[in-house]
Amino acid sequence: MALPMPEIHTVTTSDGVALTLTRYRGGAKGPVMIAHGAGVWSGMFTLPTIDEHFADYIVRNGYDAWLLDWRASVKLPLRQFTLDEAAANDFPAAVRYIRDATRSDSIQAVVHCAGSSAFFLALASGLLPEIRCVSCSQIALHYNPPAATQIKCAMHLGEILEKGGVEYLSADEDPAHPAFHALFTTFVNAMYHQCDSPVCHRIFFMYGELYRHEQLNPATHQRLAEQFGKCNITAFRHLAQMVRRGEAAKFDYGAAENLKRYGAATPPSYVAPEHLRIPITFVSGALNQTFLPISTQRTFDWLRSVNDPALYTRHVVPGYGHIDGFMGCNANRDAYPLFLEQLEKCPA
Ligand SMILES: [Zn+2]
């Protein structure tokens, strides 16, 4: 179906970062904020290469879709940030903007990967009381990556790269640093052999096997560079810290600085249940090799043990990896309905 014309809105956060919200007025079922992961942008929900992308699907089902490009978006200027900063600033600003623009008391959210991670930091901190319910893709407050990622985190790869003057890793071509980029590409091409796309190999190195090749049609695979770009090293480091710890916590600046900022040598955890007493659905790809499905299982089990278990639902999508639940050519049949199910349970 043809989407309604997009309306582009700019939201400036309290720390001065300009974010973009792209609105597709779909119907009267209320606003839904939709947030992408790291190193990508909201284009992952409007792929031109699949028959029905996620924005189409949400609009067709009668919702007012608001696609957020938060500070991790590759369409915004690259900046170093911790997920704490994104959580404290981006999501509260975006939610309030949507609520004001639509004159709604509350809104719903669909959040993916690092966008889900940062969103849950904000939600668990009590910064998003206007969120009525959430569909969460792949990760929330607990982190279980496969062994290859654990090794990279254990090596403190982010710190090593940062000390070497590397400010980001890029999945697309990077004319600014040709020597480093050529070395990086040679290295990843030697590591991965499922296809002959260097973009694809860089993506797999940066994030683990982010999709099942069989779920992407050839046109999507050929045009991956349109979706992926730079991911800043600070956000990478924060994600790696949380992976090593196994759960969401504030950025670890080192004991001395932590003492100053947090009054403790180790950063405080975000895992607290009181602000999470809303309906939440967790969706993991059964074959996710970026964050294993047990990641959402742990958040789901923990929430059901501390809050009313009836609030929480979890689905595992057979045959899917991490981002193909949105970018796969059959995702509208296999995955989108699982995100929609939660929205339908919480009418405006
Ligand atoms: Zn490939």
Ranked by mean pLDDT, the top range of 143-147, 230-234, 308-312 is 308-312
- The answer to the question of residue 246 being in a domain is yes
What pLDDT shows up at residue 264? 98
Share of the chain above pLDDT 90, in %: 78
In terms of residue numbers, what domain contains 147? 7-344
CATH of the domain at 120: 3.40.50.1820
Q: How far apart are the CA of 195 and the centre of ligand 1, in A? A: 5
Residue pLDDT, tens place only, 161-199: 777 777 777 777 777 778 877 888 888 888 888 899 999
Tell whether 1 is covered by a domain.
no
Question: How many angstroms separate the alpha carbon of residue 178 from the centre of ligand 1?
Answer: 22
Tens of pLDDT, residues 27-81: 899 999 999 999 899 999 999 999 999 999 999 999 999 999 999 999 999 999 9
328 C-alpha vs ligand 1 centroid, how far in Å? 13
Query: Is residue 178 a part of any domain in this protein?
Result: yes
Distance 227 CA to ligand 1 centre (A): 14
In a domain, 285, yes or no: yes
Contact 321, 287 (CB under 8 A): yes
Express each pLDDT in 68-99 by its tens digit: 999 999 999 999 999 999 999 999 999 999 99
Provide the percentage of residues in the chain whose pLDDT is more than 70: 97
Distance of CA 147 from the midpoint of ligand 1 (Å): 21
Residue 275 falls inside a structural domain: yes
Asked if residue 92 is part of any domain, the answer here is yes
Q: Is residue 252 assigned to a domain?
A: yes
Q: Ligand 1 centre and the CA of 93: distance in Å?
A: 36
Confidence band of 119 (pLDDT split at 50, 70, 90): very high
74: in domain? yes
Predicted TM-score of the model (pTM): 0.95
Residue 348 CA to ligand 1 center (angstroms) comes to 41
Rounded Cα–Cα distance for residues 273 and 102 (Å): 29
Residue 169 pairs with which residues in a beta bridge? 231
CA–centroid distance, residue 241 to ligand 1 (Å): 28
Helix, strand, or coil (residue 105) = coil
Q: Say how many Å lie between the CA of residue 280 and the centre of ligand 1.
A: 33
Q: How many domains are contained in the chain? A: 1
Task: Compute, in angstroms, the gap from residue 79 CA to the centroid of ligand 1.
Answer: 28
Provide the H-helix boundaries in the chain: 54-60, 83-102, 113-124, 147-154, 157-163, 178-191, 198-207, 218-222, 233-245, 255-262, 294-306, 324-327, 331-334, 336-344
